[in-house]
Amino acid sequence: MTPRFDALKSKFIQVKQPVRDAVSDTAQVENTVKDIIANVRERGDAAIREYSIAFDKVDVTSFEVTEEEKLKVVADLEPQTREDTEFAIANVRRFAKAQLGTILPLEIESLPGLHLGHRVIPIETVGCYVPGGRYPLLSAPVMTIVPAKVAGCDQVIACLPPNAHPAMIAGCHLAGADRIFRVGGAQAIAAMAYGTETIPAVDKIVGPGNAFVNEAKRQVFGKVGIDQLAGPSEIFVVADETANAFTIATDLLAQAEHDVRTRVGVVTTDRNLAEGILIEVEKQLQNLPTAPVAGVAWNHYGEITVVEDEETMIAYSDHIATEHLQVHTRDPHATAKKLRNYGSIFIGDLASVVYSDKCCGTNHTLPTMGAGRYTGGLWVGSYVKVATHQWLDERGVAAVAPAATRQSATERLEGHRRAAALRLSPNQFAAK
């Protein structure tokens, strides 16, 4: 626990406690993933085909989606589905372009003759993992592929499970993927990290997935970059007595239907609201078609906590550092300004997580498992490198060389000292 949270923990009670821990529940896959990665590195496409048969129950003879297949799945899209997909693409692209506009090149003359700066350089090749999951998540390819294209990456490839819904392939194509492969799971991450006969190695892998995908990203990190380690989805709500129990219960269950391991919770200053939410969740589960998933998530990982005051509510929320944070208070904008640890924040009861999940423009690939304490979510900046440069004229050398020479001598690094002094007195080294 953080010191701030630990000092306040006596000031809350839990109306409903989680009975399982979403973090420790991911601990059983490390060795399986290690074997998959080693096998794909050694045997390439043959290993991927075997894993597709074993895990996806599909014998894939051709991994890459052809141009003809792309055109067909797009043509087969129901018109309203295509229109909605393109609406989401346009919104995500618009926001990504605006974000990219804030990442500017830099050139300064720090001292007379000392020129420093940086360039904003797109990553050359990016691999986007697109989860198939329990449902065809049509927004998933939009969130990973569109920002990569806006950033200017030379090649964007997409991998998705071979049994994914055809609309998912269509989404990859409409979002701008240069190449699309029918490969899922940890084997897809291994293929993008190391390359196979068919699938090119990439420089960075982005996108969410199950525990096996997440573990594979962790194990290949270093060989390639990754966006983050994202666990099961999360939603928390901070609320006071002005909040609506029915609305909050609806939003909690909307997120809970993602996965049986989704973490859902509320922290509130009002005991009556807490009890009302508890009643509403149970009532709505009775007629929710996805209750077999959402109900398990709620029973295992759901929590409702009542706190003494707003200060404790803020501290509790910042300690959780949830992926999605909804603010339902009398003055939600004022409350939001006091919060600092979250993946994305939804201010006021009209801002549902589902809008961001699908189409409003902000990215839905966000930090989980407390990572909101040190990072934000996927964004256009994830696809570029900010790389520094410097150049000096004689005035710049005169300004920095003496200090660099003295420091190198103090550190007993003679090679460094000579290199620093050389530009200051080149004739001193010419005859040596």
The one-letter code for the residue type at 386 is V
Say if residue 59 is exposed, middle or buried (CB neighbours under 10 Å; 0-12, 13-18, 19+).
exposed
Q: Which residues neighbour 11 within 8 Å (Cβ) at sequence distance 6 or greater?
A: 307, 308, 309, 312
CB 136 within 8 A of CB 166: no
Q: Which helix (H) or strand (E) holds 166?
A: helix 166-175
Length of the chain equals 432
In terms of DSSP bridges, do strands 204-206 and 225-226 run parallel, antiparallel, or are they unpaired?
A: parallel
Q: What residues have CB less than 8 Å from 212, skipping those under 6 apart? A: 29, 32, 33, 36, 185, 186
| 416 among known catalytic residues | no
- Read off the tokens for 202: 């990439």
The DSSP annotation for 55-123 comes to: IIS---S--BPPHHHHHHHHHTS-HHHHHHHHHHHHHHHHHHHHHHTTS--EEEEEETTEEEEEEEEE-
Spot the catalytic one: 173, 234, 323, 364. Answer: 323
Active-site pick, 324, 328, 394, 414: 324
Let me know if 50 is a catalytic residue: no
Give the integer Cα–Cα distance in Å for 140 and 117. Answer: 36
**Which amino acids are annotated catalytic?**
323-324
